[in-house]
Chains A and B, each alone.
Chain A
Amino acid sequence: MSGDENLERELESFLREDDSRLAALYRKLPRPEPDAALDAAVLAMARRAAAAPAPRPAPRRRHWLPLLGAAATVALAVGIAYRLAPQLGNQRGVPAAGGASDAARREEAQAPAATTQAAPPARPAPPAAVTPPVETDRRQLQKVENAAAPAPAPFPGATDATAAAAKAPAPAAAGRVAANREAEMKKSAAAVSESAAAPASMSAPAPAAAAPAEPALRVGTPAGNAFEAPKPAKDRAQDHAYSAAVLRNSRLYPESWIAEIQRLLRAGRREEARQNLELFRSKYPDYRLPEDLRDLP
């Protein structure tokens, strides 16, 4: 039997038996133990520890907290972007939501047809870069006039700017400012009035604010209808009752509209003429109609 085999057998015995020959020999070695002072120190330490509150295990790191924070940040950013998107859209010329802009959009949709009739030959819509100053001036003018005193709504067909401005019982200072602004408006509005379809789409101030501003705008603009104040709800409801052709005609100058109605009558399109006249009367109740139209029901 080789030495290696004996060693392996001894190893197996050493691992298997608790009291192998080698283990038995080991147990005969001196068996030193801690002295009494060491025992006392350890036991005293254990008693102190037991008397004191048990140390709390270190709190587990919550790995989900950073993830939750990141998700909340993303949600917040998306929410802010969602809120700001309409405002940014407005700054870029997108109409704001609301009743006034709804009316403007409706008018805008009808504008091309009106343009073809009001200002032949038709021109392409003016570039957006041209129209904003008019809109801005108009709003500023409204602010000035509102700050003074609201002028009564002028006669729709009025064409004299000075007379309209004189009607407004505004203070002198505000009147002067308004007059200056009016002169500027005449220049800028004249530049764009011939292709007034787009300006029509931009006349969307709040009704209450628009009324005092109308005189200067209306008289200073050849295509005064293009700058009409938004129609009251009643009128808008009325519009829905008329055909698109009638509504297109309502954008004409009153005189042109009357001429169109007369043409319809001559063409035998009596019902269409009657609808036009009905809408005309509702828009211009004080307009003096030609004799041939006065009797039309």
Chain B
Amino acid sequence: MLAYAQGDVRAFEALYARSRGMLYRFILRSVGDRASADELFQETWSRLVAARERYRVEAKFTTWLLQIAHNLIVDTFRRTRPQADPDETEAVFRTLDAPESERPEQYLSEFEQRRRLQLVLDELPPAQREAFLLRVEGGLGLEAIARLTGAGQETVKSRLRYALAKIREKFAE
């Protein structure tokens, strides 16, 4: 990022290639629809580029990127909190579903697990879902999640605990 701040476009391209999928999935699974995800994804990079002079080495790039995305998502939720009914959830699931060519019949049971996981993620309250995504998608630890979301570590831990409990409950059905 420091190299890009000095005008090295190739450095940015490398960063982008490494982080694009993680960021996109974090945003998409947070907001639930591709149109909003595309918009927020582009806005996140735009904010990052505009703020490149303020980047400091001590901040992990992934954390910084996710922080920007988190702020944009929170703003989006404040403007229009998504109210996903089961039909919308199913539509998202279909959107996120892997191509048919990647779904051999022998993996149907696993597919059912993934489907249930996808459904429960959509049903989670935003704060719990975000904490879960930051952990599994962003690879952040408890402390980093707490700092990024502005919540206490115990609060984050509690959110994750509730999220896991709901996932287990969904899988037990």
Contact = CB atoms under 8 A, between A and B. Distances in A.
Given A7-B165, A22-B164, A29 B96 contact: yes
Contacts of B167: 22
Nearest to A48: B49
Contacts of A88: none
A42 B160 CA distance: 32
B4 A33 contact: no
Interface in A1-56: 7-8, 10-11, 14-15, 18, 22-23, 25-34, 38-39, 41-43, 45-47, 49-50, 54-56
Contact of B53 (A15, A27, A54): A54
Nearest to B27: A34
Given A32-B28, A32-B96, A45 B160 contact: no
Interface of B is mostly: helix
Contacts of A46: 4, 9, 12-13, 16, 45, 49
Interface of A is mostly: helix
Given A14-B160, A22-B164, A46-B12, A34 B113 contact: no
Contacts of B127: none
Q: How large is the interface on A (under 10, 10 to 19, 20 to 34, 35 or more residues)?
A: 20 to 34
A49 to B, nearest CB: 5
Contact of B42 (A8, A42, A49): A42
A207 B51 CA distance: 78
A244 B38 CA distance: 106
A25 B9 contact: no
A268 interface: no
B117 A26 contact: yes
A11 B161 CA distance: 6
Contacts of A54: 5, 7, 52-53
Contact of B45 (A8, A28, A30, A42): A42
Contacts of B136: 22-23, 26-27
Given A30-B97, A45-B45, A50 B20 contact: no
Contacts of A38: 38, 41-42
A90 to B, nearest CB: 62
Interface in B1-49: 4-5, 7-9, 12-13, 16, 20-21, 24-25, 28, 34, 38, 41-42, 45-46, 49
Given A22-B167, A28-B110, A38-B38, A15 B141 contact: yes
B50 A55 contact: yes
Interface in A57-77: 57
Contact of A7 (B24, B98, B139, B161): B161
B53 A55 contact: yes
Interface in B123-139: 135-137, 139
Contact of B164 (A14, A18, A55): A14
B164 A10 contact: yes
B54 interface: yes
Contact of B117 (A29, A32, A34, A45): A29
Nearest to A27: B136
A42 B15 CA distance: 12
Contacts of B117: 25-26, 29
A6 to B, nearest CB: 8
B74 interface: no
A32 B52 contact: no
Interface of A: 7-8, 10-11, 14-15, 18, 22-23, 25-34, 38-39, 41-43, 45-47, 49-50, 54-57
Interface of B: 4-5, 7-9, 12-13, 16, 20-21, 24-25, 28, 34, 38, 41-42, 45-46, 49-50, 52-54, 95-98, 110, 113-114, 117-118, 135-137, 139, 141-142, 157, 160-161, 164-165, 167-168
Given A28-B110, A54-B5, A54-B53, 19 more contacts: A7-B161, A10-B164, A11-B160, A15-B135, A15-B157, A25-B114, A26-B117, A27-B136, A29-B118, A30-B96, A31-B21, A32-B28, A34-B24, A42-B45, A43-B12, A45-B45, A47-B9, A49-B50, A50-B4
7 contacts: A8-B161, A22-B164, A25-B113, A32-B28, A33-B25, A43-B13, A43-B16
